[in-house]
Amino acid sequence: MKKVYVCFATDIIHGGHIKVIKQAAQLGSVMIGLLSDEAMIDYKRMPMLSFEERRQIVESIKGVDSVVLQEELSYAKNLRTYYPDIVVHGNDWVTGIQRPIREEVIEVLKEYGGELVEIPYSSDKNYKILEESIARLAIPDIRRGRLRQMMNLKKPLSILEAHSGITGLIAEKTIVMQNGKTYQFDGMWVSSLCDSTAKGKPDIELVDMSSRIKTIDDIMEVTTKPIILDGDTGGLIEHFVYTVRTLERMGVSAVIIEDKTGLKKNSLFGTDVEQTQDSIEHFSSKISAGKKAQRTKEFMIIARIESLILEKGMDDALLRADSYVKAGADGIMIHSRKKDPAEIFEFTKKFREKDKHTPLVVVPTSFNTVTEEEFGRRGINIVIYANQLTRSGFPAMQKTAQAILENHRAKEADDMCMPIKEILTLIPEEIV
Ligand code: SPV
Ligand code: MG
């Protein structure tokens, strides 16, 4: 009996998959390589069913003899462990993101004389509709809880700044394949700096909450991934409780509020401008009031500590972290504007000695040499890339505007521009 290997990267089983299993079973004994939750998140989206549930479903399909874990999109590790005689796959992977995976499968099979059998991919329209039902991930009640769920599956989560529909789409859809693994962002950060900058305004809480909510809505309309709002100081306690309810209703997963008071300036100014830190007592009551106002169990209020930014010292930062968690904060964001990550690492180590579970968030704009892998290892749960799309997009637009003015025509700017055909088809007409 030949050993036949089929990889499954889905939690929506339809007739197309059953057909693949039937055909595979005719070739021998079928082993399913079931993609891990983490690999599913990086390859497609967060699975709606856990690995264990998916395993039980797939195991009970007629024709399946065994189910094994496939940790990453690359088959290499499992092929070199189980040495199947045949790998079966639909012929849809000849092009697209999976192409290098296919090439690697062919290479590894060659090492020991295995064979690849490709079967016609089922293009039944109903299957496509079923897959697209993932659009329901965008429904507020489902989207809201996904940040917490993902934090249990992956560490750290990688979050990208978005301030419009199109930047939201970039955060939603950008995918990179590297060494047999796929990488995607896990959600969006609606930054006060970038939202204000996009509106040509300074980052001083001048863009009001109604306008911030409109930005969130624009992003939500075209994406499904979880959203974290940069809530600045949260404003007056009496206003913050309303903001919490609004964000919950919209399906936002978390708000991060910073312990500053008075006219807020961007943290990266540090002590170059006058900024006042809130008292522990007052900020703690803001957190408690927000938690009390909250109506869903999934929404998160994350407290952001500005002690290192304002040079108030490590002990102050740690004392505040402890107090904010006691006041009900669901997570702590520790901020720094130093290039050297030492103070972030010191905070993380000392915080984790006492508190193993409260999620920790960092925004490595200045300390940008640290990799996500290292942050994760040191106990960080969420890494936010807070402003890179705005900082790269703005100089590109400025350069184009200058080139048009300098040449008194647009020809010279054309090389810097996306082809017209591409921009016209960038956003498909049909709603997904
Ligand atoms: C933002 O993105 O607006 C932030 C992070 O609050 S920072 O700019 O580093 O203060
Ligand atoms: Mg901000």
**Mean pLDDT calculated for residue range 284-297:** 97
Distance 191 CA to ligand 1 centre (A): 6
Q: Which atom of ligand 1 is nearest to the CA of 335?
A: 9
Using CA atoms, how far apart are residues 226 and 285, in angstroms rounded to an integer? 27
CA dihedral for 43, 48, 53, 57, sign (positive or negative): negative
Please give the distance, rounded to the nearest whole angstrom, from the Cα atom of residue 286 to the centre of ligand 2. 18
Q: Is the pLDDT of residue 133 over 80?
A: no
| 130: pLDDT strictly greater than 90 | no
The arithmetic mean of pLDDT across residues 179-204, rounded, is: 95
CA distance 146 to 22: 34
Mutational pocket test of ligand 1: of 268, 307, 361, the residue with most ligand atoms within 8 Å of the beta carbon: 268
Spatial CA neighbour of 206 closest among 233, 181, 178, 240: 233
CA 66/CA 104 separation, integer angstroms: 23
Distance CA 337, CA 270 (A): 7
Instruction: Report the pLDDT value the prediction gives residue 132, as an integer from 0 to 100.
Output: 66
The ligand 1 atom at the shortest distance from the C-alpha of residue 232 is 6
Catalytic site residue 203? Answer: yes
Q: Indicate if ligand 1 lies below 6 Å from the C-beta of 191.
A: yes
129 pLDDT band (50/70/90 cuts)? Answer: low
Does any ligand 1 atom lie closer than 6 A to the CB of residue 268? yes
Q: Is the CB of 386 under 6 A from ligand 1?
A: yes
The environment of the single-atom ion ligand 2, i.e. residues with CB closer than 5 A, is: 192, 230
As a whole number, mean pLDDT of residues 19-35 equals 95
User: Among residues of the chain, what percentage have pLDDT more than 90?
Assistant: 79
Residue position matching structure tokens 């859809």 = 173
Picking from 109-113, 260-264, 346-350, 424-428, which range would have the lowest pLDDT averaged per residue?
Answer: 424-428
Structure tokens at 318: 């740690």
Residue for token pair 């479903």: 57
| Residue identifier of the C-alpha nearest atom 7 of ligand 1 | 267
Which band of pLDDT confidence, cut at 50, 70 and 90, is reported for residue 3?
A: very high
Average pLDDT over residues 169-194: 93
* 205 within ligand 1 shell (Cβ under 6 A): no
Contacts of 357 (CB under 8 A, 6+ apart): none
193 lines ligand 1 (CB under 6 A): yes
> Helix, strand, or coil here: 50?
coil
How confident is the model over 185-201, as a mean pLDDT? 97
- Residue 124 structure tokens: 């039944």
The CA 203 to ligand 2 mean position distance, Å, reads 7
Is the per-residue pLDDT at 124 higher than 80?
Answer: no
- Judge residue 63's burial from the number of C-beta atoms within 10 Å of its C-beta, 0-12 exposed, 13-18 middle, 19 or more buried: middle
**pLDDT digits over 205-245, tens only?**
999 999 999 999 999 999 999 999 999 999 999 999 999 99
Ligand located closest to 266 CA: 1
CA-CA distances (angstroms) from residue 399 to 61, 113, 393, 394, 409? 58, 54, 10, 9, 14
Residues 6+ apart with CB under 8 A from 202: 196
Chain segment 60-75, per-residue pLDDT in tens: 999 999 999 999 999 9
Residues found in the chain:
432
Provide the token pair at 380.
């960080």
Distance CA 49, CA 418 (A): 39
**Which of 122 and 149 is assigned the larger pLDDT?**
149
Q: How far apart (Å, rounded) are the C-alpha atoms in residues 351 and 375?
A: 14
Q: What is the widest separation between alpha-carbon atoms in the chain?
A: 76
pLDDT in tens, 266-275: 888 888 888 8
Instruction: Please name which ligand lies nearest the alpha carbon of 333.
Output: 1
Task: Answer whether 75's CB lies under 8 Å from 42's CB.
Answer: no
